[in-house]
Amino acid sequence: MLVGRDRLASRGDQAVHECLILLQSITQKSKAHLLAFDEELLLAEQYQRFMHLLDRRAAGEPSAYLVEEKEFWSLPLKVTADVLIPRADTELLVETALTVLGNKQRPHILDLGTGSGCIALALASELAVSYTHLRAHETGRNL
Protein backbone atom coordinates (compact mmCIF):
# COMPACT_ATOMS: atom_id res chain seq x y z
CA MET A 1 0.00 0.00 0.00
CA LEU A 2 2.91 2.34 0.68
CA VAL A 3 4.05 2.08 -2.94
CA GLY A 4 0.57 3.00 -4.10
CA ARG A 5 0.27 5.87 -1.65
CA ASP A 6 3.58 7.29 -2.82
CA ARG A 7 2.59 6.93 -6.49
CA LEU A 8 -0.67 8.75 -5.86
CA ALA A 9 0.80 11.40 -3.56
CA SER A 10 -0.69 14.14 -5.73
CA ARG A 11 -4.16 12.86 -4.69
CA GLY A 12 -3.41 14.09 -1.16
CA ASP A 13 -5.63 12.65 1.54
CA GLN A 14 -7.39 10.44 -0.99
CA ALA A 15 -4.26 8.44 -1.91
CA VAL A 16 -4.82 5.66 0.65
CA HIS A 17 -8.54 5.49 -0.13
CA GLU A 18 -7.82 5.20 -3.86
CA CYS A 19 -5.21 2.49 -3.25
CA LEU A 20 -7.75 0.52 -1.24
CA ILE A 21 -10.30 0.76 -4.05
CA LEU A 22 -7.77 -0.64 -6.51
CA LEU A 23 -6.54 -3.35 -4.13
CA GLN A 24 -10.09 -4.46 -3.31
CA SER A 25 -10.73 -4.94 -7.01
CA ILE A 26 -7.50 -6.84 -7.59
CA THR A 27 -7.56 -9.07 -4.52
CA GLN A 28 -11.33 -9.42 -4.06
CA LYS A 29 -10.78 -8.74 -0.35
CA SER A 30 -12.65 -6.26 1.82
CA LYS A 31 -11.29 -2.90 2.88
CA ALA A 32 -11.31 -4.13 6.49
CA HIS A 33 -9.22 -7.17 5.54
CA LEU A 34 -6.71 -5.09 3.60
CA LEU A 35 -6.27 -2.69 6.51
CA ALA A 36 -6.09 -5.44 9.15
CA PHE A 37 -3.60 -7.55 7.20
CA ASP A 38 -1.62 -4.88 5.40
CA GLU A 39 1.55 -6.97 5.61
CA GLU A 40 0.14 -9.56 3.17
CA LEU A 41 2.01 -9.65 -0.10
CA LEU A 42 0.41 -9.54 -3.51
CA LEU A 43 1.01 -12.30 -6.02
CA ALA A 44 3.28 -11.25 -8.89
CA GLU A 45 0.33 -10.94 -11.28
CA GLN A 46 -1.64 -8.88 -8.74
CA TYR A 47 1.34 -6.60 -8.17
CA GLN A 48 1.75 -5.98 -11.91
CA ARG A 49 -1.97 -5.24 -12.23
CA PHE A 50 -1.78 -2.87 -9.24
CA MET A 51 1.17 -0.98 -10.74
CA HIS A 52 -0.65 -0.71 -14.08
CA LEU A 53 -3.79 0.66 -12.42
CA LEU A 54 -1.74 3.06 -10.30
CA ASP A 55 -0.11 4.46 -13.45
CA ARG A 56 -3.50 4.96 -15.08
CA ARG A 57 -4.92 6.59 -11.93
CA ALA A 58 -1.87 8.85 -11.59
CA ALA A 59 -2.49 9.92 -15.20
CA GLY A 60 -5.97 11.06 -14.19
CA GLU A 61 -8.21 8.16 -15.15
CA PRO A 62 -11.06 7.85 -12.61
CA SER A 63 -10.78 4.88 -10.26
CA ALA A 64 -14.39 3.90 -11.02
CA TYR A 65 -13.41 3.32 -14.65
CA LEU A 66 -10.33 1.37 -13.58
CA VAL A 67 -12.29 -1.07 -11.42
CA GLU A 68 -15.44 -0.80 -13.59
CA GLU A 69 -17.67 -0.27 -10.56
CA LYS A 70 -19.16 2.59 -8.57
CA GLU A 71 -21.51 2.38 -5.62
CA PHE A 72 -24.62 4.56 -5.82
CA TRP A 73 -27.45 4.44 -3.29
CA SER A 74 -25.76 1.36 -1.79
CA LEU A 75 -26.00 -0.41 -5.15
CA PRO A 76 -22.81 -1.61 -6.88
CA LEU A 77 -23.08 -0.43 -10.48
CA LYS A 78 -20.91 -1.44 -13.42
CA VAL A 79 -19.42 1.61 -15.10
CA THR A 80 -17.22 1.97 -18.13
CA ALA A 81 -15.91 4.94 -20.06
CA ASP A 82 -19.17 4.74 -22.05
CA VAL A 83 -21.19 6.24 -19.17
CA LEU A 84 -20.81 9.05 -16.69
CA ILE A 85 -19.77 7.99 -13.22
CA PRO A 86 -22.69 8.29 -10.79
CA ARG A 87 -22.02 11.13 -8.37
CA ALA A 88 -22.87 11.15 -4.70
CA ASP A 89 -24.69 14.48 -5.04
CA THR A 90 -27.08 12.87 -7.56
CA GLU A 91 -28.45 10.90 -4.61
CA LEU A 92 -30.21 14.16 -3.66
CA LEU A 93 -32.25 13.78 -6.84
CA VAL A 94 -33.28 10.28 -5.75
CA GLU A 95 -34.24 11.58 -2.29
CA THR A 96 -36.30 14.38 -3.88
CA ALA A 97 -38.04 11.98 -6.29
CA LEU A 98 -38.93 9.66 -3.41
CA THR A 99 -40.40 12.59 -1.49
CA VAL A 100 -42.42 13.75 -4.50
CA LEU A 101 -43.66 10.22 -5.25
CA GLY A 102 -44.64 9.68 -1.63
CA ASN A 103 -46.78 6.58 -1.30
CA LYS A 104 -47.87 6.54 -4.93
CA GLN A 105 -48.54 2.96 -6.00
CA ARG A 106 -46.80 1.70 -9.16
CA PRO A 107 -45.43 5.04 -10.35
CA HIS A 108 -44.42 5.43 -13.98
CA ILE A 109 -40.81 6.58 -14.22
CA LEU A 110 -38.91 7.11 -17.44
CA ASP A 111 -35.14 6.96 -17.27
CA LEU A 112 -34.18 7.68 -20.85
CA GLY A 113 -30.62 8.16 -22.10
CA THR A 114 -29.19 8.78 -18.66
CA GLY A 115 -26.09 6.59 -18.88
CA SER A 116 -25.65 4.15 -16.02
CA GLY A 117 -29.34 4.12 -15.06
CA CYS A 118 -28.36 4.78 -11.45
CA ILE A 119 -31.34 7.02 -10.71
CA ALA A 120 -33.94 4.54 -11.97
CA LEU A 121 -32.18 1.64 -10.26
CA ALA A 122 -32.07 3.51 -6.95
CA LEU A 123 -35.76 4.40 -7.25
CA ALA A 124 -36.65 0.83 -8.18
CA SER A 125 -34.76 -0.47 -5.16
CA GLU A 126 -36.70 1.84 -2.85
CA LEU A 127 -40.11 1.49 -4.48
CA ALA A 128 -39.90 -2.29 -4.93
CA VAL A 129 -40.79 -2.03 -8.60
CA SER A 130 -39.25 -3.70 -11.59
CA TYR A 131 -36.88 -1.82 -13.84
CA THR A 132 -37.17 -2.20 -17.58
CA HIS A 133 -34.25 -1.15 -19.71
CA LEU A 134 -35.19 -0.15 -23.23
CA ARG A 135 -32.62 0.80 -25.82
CA ALA A 136 -33.85 2.50 -28.96
CA HIS A 137 -31.24 0.82 -31.16
CA GLU A 138 -32.38 -2.61 -29.94
CA THR A 139 -36.01 -1.95 -30.80
CA GLY A 140 -35.35 -0.16 -34.07
CA ARG A 141 -37.61 2.69 -33.05
CA ASN A 142 -36.89 6.36 -32.78
CA LEU A 143 -38.01 7.42 -29.34
Helix, strand, or coil here: 120?
A: helix
Distance between CA atoms of 6 and 18, rounded to whole angstroms? 12
Looking at residue 107, its amino acid is P
Q: What is the pLDDT of residues 44-80, one digit of tens each?
A: 999 999 999 999 998 889 999 999 999 999 999 888 8
- Buried b / exposed e along 27-60 (16+ C-beta atoms within 10 A): beeeeeebeeeeeeeeeeeeeebbeebbeebeee
Q: Is the dihedral of CA 24, 29, 31, 35 positive or negative?
A: negative
Q: What is the dihedral of CA 79, 83, 88, 89, to 10 degrees?
A: -170
Q: What is the pLDDT of residues 14-44, one digit of tens each?
A: 788 888 889 999 999 998 998 888 888 889 9
